[in-house]
Amino acid sequence: MQKPRLSFWQIWNMSFGFLGIQFGWGLQLANMSPIYKYLHAEESQLPYLWLAGPITGLLIQPIIGSMSDRTWNRLGRRRPYFLVGAIFASIALFFMPDSSALWMAAGLLWILDASINITMEPFRAFVADKLPEEQRTLGFVMQSFFIGIGQTLANALPYLFTALGVVGVMATGIPLSVDYSFKIGAIVFLVAVLWTVLTTKEYPPEDIEAFERLKREHKGIGAGFAEIASSLAQMPATMKQLAVVQFFTWFALPCMWQFFGIGVARHVFAAPNEQSPLFAEGTEWAGLCFAAYNVVCFLIAFMLPWLARKTSRKTVHLIALICGGVGLISVLFVSNKWMLFVSMAGVGIAWASILSMPYVMLSTAVPATRMGVYMGVFNLFIVIPQIVMSLLVPRIYNSMLGGDPRNAVVLGGISLLIAAATVLIVRDVHENRV
């Protein structure tokens, strides 16, 4: 079936749920390490506590991708998963700042990340389901735009609450500004996903009888795992090449998310410990820096299709990753809090491309009938490097990295430069066809 071109506002509506998802991610990325520190976590052990995201992604996204390929009901194919995940994620977000112990925060993070993965995975396949090939770049870029908006608002919210006069802390030491931000985030998450569910329809399978037969033949979790194994065995060459790029990209990003805020508090704001008011001030400023890179992300996002047409998708992605690598490495040399925005601008350019270009290249290299499962399998190349990072960095943190969170951020910058170099091995099927 030749899919009809959609209007700008139709693509806007189908992507709007990403705003809520990324509001949830943004709150987590900027605040979980400080929350863990307030609850007396050892700094070198932080990566272990962050394992919830990559492990739930490893387990859930391929399964949800496979299941959603074989789902069709009143809500459609992907939308049932959007809705269920959003409900549970919103509950976990709402109660996260109320954690009274480290185990409680870690447990809620597992629920939050599992639920976000249930919601987010089908969104990638949704673009390929709904849009003709010539509009897919715009579709994925629109998702990047909402990622930028959502994470910007989430990252800046604790700082804005403090600026508006919200002071004080909870019994655990977690600032009230963080508590209010998470509770607002829970509402935003659910409302944004509901907007997409209620305003966007899905196309039924082209051959409903064949679809129902396939569904009967491939029923249950076992069939899902079998399909995932089959997809891995039949993986297109472009996907294998992108997997290498993704490994070094997604090894780098948690180095920044987990250690940037603590590094800023300690070395730029000179906070002696997490009980100092300077620690809260520094981590809030780090959240504002994360907001800055997301501002750059959504400003750059709509330039990417034009740049890709003028050069190539590979060229855009290579240059963007170099910008991100240089930005992270420069953090080691920054002592002025305002200069951190310059470092984060490079990260924002990389982030806009990371969230769109690999998916555009992938969507033209895999069969449409297996788009959901391949998007889920592709997520393995995002979560496996995060797991590797989370297991490796605690072992080298006090030795090779000198117990300095900035050195962990620099390690991420080096990994992004390696990722940029590996873009050269990718064969973009679409551009070789054109």
CB 293 within 8 A of CB 345: yes
Mean pLDDT of 405-430: 93
Does residue 159 carry a pLDDT above 50? yes
Q: Provide the mean pLDDT of the chain.
A: 87
The angle that helices 136-163 and 102-130 make with each other, rounded to 10 degrees, is 150
What pLDDT, on the 0 to 100 scale, is given for residue 274? 87
* Token pair belonging to 391: 């297991």
CB 357 within 8 A of CB 308: yes
Region of 241 on the Ramachandran plot (φ > 0 left; ψ -120 to 50 alpha; else beta):
alpha
Name, in order, each residue with C-beta under 8 angstroms of 343's C-beta and a sequence gap of 6 or more: 289, 327, 328, 330, 331, 334
Look up residue 232 and give its amino acid. Answer: L
What pLDDT, on the 0 to 100 scale, is given for residue 434? 38
Q: Which long-range contacts (CB under 8 A, 24 or more apart) does 263-270 make?
A: 263/331, 263/404, 263/405, 263/406, 263/408, 263/409, 264/289, 264/337, 264/340, 266/405, 267/335, 267/404, 267/406, 268/334, 268/335, 268/336, 268/337, 268/340, 269/337
C-alpha to C-alpha distance for 22 and 148, rounded to whole angstroms? 8
Name, in order, each residue with C-beta under 8 angstroms of 372's C-beta and a sequence gap of 6 or more: 64, 65, 66, 68, 69, 77, 78, 121, 122, 125
The angle that helices 371-378 and 52-69 make with each other, rounded to 10 degrees, is 170
SS3 169: strand
> Domains of the chain, with CATH numbers?
8-433 (1.20.1250.20)
CB 150 within 8 A of CB 93: no
Residue % of the chain over a pLDDT of 70? 90
* Token pair belonging to 57: 């992604």
* Token pair belonging to 36: 């863990």
What pLDDT, on the 0 to 100 scale, is given for residue 223? 58
Helices (H) and strands (E) in the chain, counts: 20, 0
Higher pLDDT, 379 or 258: 258
CB 132 within 8 A of CB 4: yes
CB 366 within 8 A of CB 243: no
Does residue 228 carry a pLDDT above 90? no
Distances (CA, A) of 211 to 125, 204, 372: 17, 10, 14
- Nearest C-alpha neighbor of 191 from the set 87, 316, 339, 52: 87
What pLDDT, on the 0 to 100 scale, is given for residue 353? 92
What pLDDT, on the 0 to 100 scale, is given for residue 129? 79
What pLDDT, on the 0 to 100 scale, is given for residue 222? 60
Q: For residue 76, what is the DSSP state?
A: B
Does residue 367 carry a pLDDT above 90? no
What pLDDT, on the 0 to 100 scale, is given for residue 144? 74
What pLDDT, on the 0 to 100 scale, is given for residue 220? 54
213 φ, ψ to 5°?
-65, -45
Does residue 392 carry a pLDDT above 70? yes
What pLDDT, on the 0 to 100 scale, is given for residue 255? 96
What pLDDT, on the 0 to 100 scale, is given for residue 226? 66
CB 314 within 8 A of CB 426: yes
What pLDDT, on the 0 to 100 scale, is given for residue 326? 98
CB 405 within 8 A of CB 260: yes
What pLDDT, on the 0 to 100 scale, is given for residue 174? 93
What pLDDT, on the 0 to 100 scale, is given for residue 433? 46
Residue 183, number of CB atoms within 10 A of its CB: 16
C-alpha to C-alpha distance for 361 and 369, rounded to whole angstroms? 17
Mean pLDDT of 396-402: 95
- Note the pLDDT tens digit of each residue in 332-359: 999 999 999 999 999 999 998 998 888 8
298 φ, ψ to 5°?
-80, -20
